[in-house]
Amino acid sequence: MACETISAEDLRNQLALDIPGVMTKVTDWRHYFHEFPELSNREYKTQESIAEALIEMGLEPNLNYGITGVTAFIRGQNAGPLIALRADIDGLPVTEKLNLPFSSKVKTTYQGNEVGVMHACGHDAHIAVLLGVASFLSQNTDKLNGDILLIFQPAEEGAPEGEEGGAELMLKQGLFDAEKPDAIFGMHVANFKNGQIWTKPGPIMASAEAFRITVQGRQTHGSRPWSGVDPIIAASDIATTLQTIVSRRLNLLDSQAVVTVGIMKAGTRNNIIPSTAMLEGTIRTFKDSYADQIRDEIKLIAEKVAEAHHASAEVEFKVYGGYPVTVNDEDLVRNFSPSLMEAANGDFFEARVPRTGAEDFSFYAQQVPGLFFFLGVNAPGVEDSPTNHSPYFYVDDSALTNGVKAFVNLVEDFSVKFNSN
């Protein structure tokens, strides 16, 4: 590789000329992936389509990381760092309720139930933006300082129970072993102002893990509850009492936390008190010590409340694995927030508090300096719209231009600063 360093404006200037053509492709890709979503660790057609797109760019896709992941290198013609850019590619078990020409009609089986599948978290936009960036950079390697590692990562929403997946599996399989990036950048779309970008130094997203509580009672006829032990009543009491963990047991001046029960299952018939009931929920926090305390409190509440109902409870944690806190490198945020501000045409802010959502980008950021940012994708002029994971979550294609610009600015500015040190 040559020892020359290209100026900090060459990629920007070229992108300004190429952006209309790039965004036409980004929009086409986004619509395709939105119409044909796939669940975590089952993104087989998605993987194939991404690989085909990369081959058309003259790149060599690698399918060896993650069950359905795709990676590829773009080799710059000038000296510089290795920068990783990541997009997640999985959909959610959500039945889409948007009436778009490219709305998803996909159905599949999830946890034994037939469900619709939708890119309700915007990962279709993440794929399309990164493919757009890849298309642009692969055609301008003469202006690229250093190399790019493209990471199209499956199973960000969590691998199916009993399986490994996502960022953690890709790293376990050696993604960073042969060539370790000097930095990694990632983006997430969300329901706020069109084209606006924000980030935050330090913790930007919470840790996350699922818990499961199985309550054991004694089955009986619904007309004679006194002759059995009702696990539904016990489970309901447990679900209510769990809410006192955050409201009454944690010092919220020190950190924040969320305990949510998202699943309650029990019974087969209206006049049968069943033998078991099951609860599943999520724990979100920004401190490992808080997560430890919450687990202790959940176990205590579940077991003792069940006992008070003459039932018993078994508690499991990290039933689908877990994600650590997503932490942005403070130097990256300080040095390259101007790059994001420029991409957003000045419509940028630095958040004061983190989000309680979680991201397995956190695993990459534990290995190398990372910067994760958010892009608003509401339709122009719309302030309030359905959030991620809603069947009505909407991505306006016009907002994605700023996502492409943000990645290109970060690549150019980081590489120039890296070479100047």
Percent residues over pLDDT 70 in the chain: 98
On the question of pLDDT at 1 being above 50, the answer is: no
Helix, strand or coil, per DSSP, at residue 218:
strand
Q: How confident is the model at residue 3 (pLDDT cuts 50, 70, 90)?
A: very low
Beta bridge partners of 68: none
Least confident of 190-194, 236-240, 290-294, 299-303: 290-294
| Per-residue pLDDT reduced to its tens digit, 309-340 | 999 999 999 998 899 999 999 999 999 999 99
| Per-residue pLDDT reduced to its tens digit, 223-245 | 999 999 999 999 999 999 999 99
On the question of pLDDT at 51 being above 60, the answer is: yes
Q: How confident is the model at residue 255 (pLDDT cuts 50, 70, 90)?
A: confident
Predicted local confidence at residue 253, as pLDDT: 86
Per-chain mean pLDDT for the chain: 96
Backbone angles phi, psi at 8, to 5 degrees: -75, 0
Work out the angle at residue 314's Cα, subtended by the Cα atoms of residues 311 and 318, and round it to the nearest 5 degrees.
150
For residues 288 and 361, the model is more confident at: 361
Predicted local confidence at residue 111, as pLDDT: 81
| Per-residue pLDDT reduced to its tens digit, 8-37 | 579 999 999 999 999 999 999 999 999 999
Helix, strand or coil, per DSSP, at residue 45:
helix
On the question of pLDDT at 5 being above 70, the answer is: no
Determine the average pLDDT of the residues in 73-89: 98
Do residues 34 and 96 lie in contact, with contact meaning Cβ atoms separated by under 8 Å? no
Determine the average pLDDT of the residues in 72-76: 98
Q: How confident is the model at residue 399 (pLDDT cuts 50, 70, 90)?
A: very high
Predicted local confidence at residue 7, as pLDDT: 60
Do residues 204 and 186 lie in contact, with contact meaning Cβ atoms separated by under 8 Å? no
Helix, strand or coil, per DSSP, at residue 106:
coil
Determine the average pLDDT of the residues in 46-58: 98
Predicted local confidence at residue 288, as pLDDT: 81
Backbone angles phi, psi at 16, to 5 degrees: -60, -35
> What's the CA gap between 297 and 245, in Å, rounded?
7
Q: How confident is the model at residue 289 (pLDDT cuts 50, 70, 90)?
A: confident
Predicted local confidence at residue 4, as pLDDT: 55
Q: How confident is the model at residue 129 (pLDDT cuts 50, 70, 90)?
A: very high
Q: How confident is the model at residue 2 (pLDDT cuts 50, 70, 90)?
A: very low
Q: How many CB atoms lie within 10 A of CB 83?
A: 26
Do residues 114 and 90 lie in contact, with contact meaning Cβ atoms separated by under 8 Å? no
On the question of pLDDT at 215 being above 70, the answer is: yes
Domains of the chain: 10-206+325-420 (3.40.630.10), 207-322 (3.30.70.360)
Predicted local confidence at residue 78, as pLDDT: 96
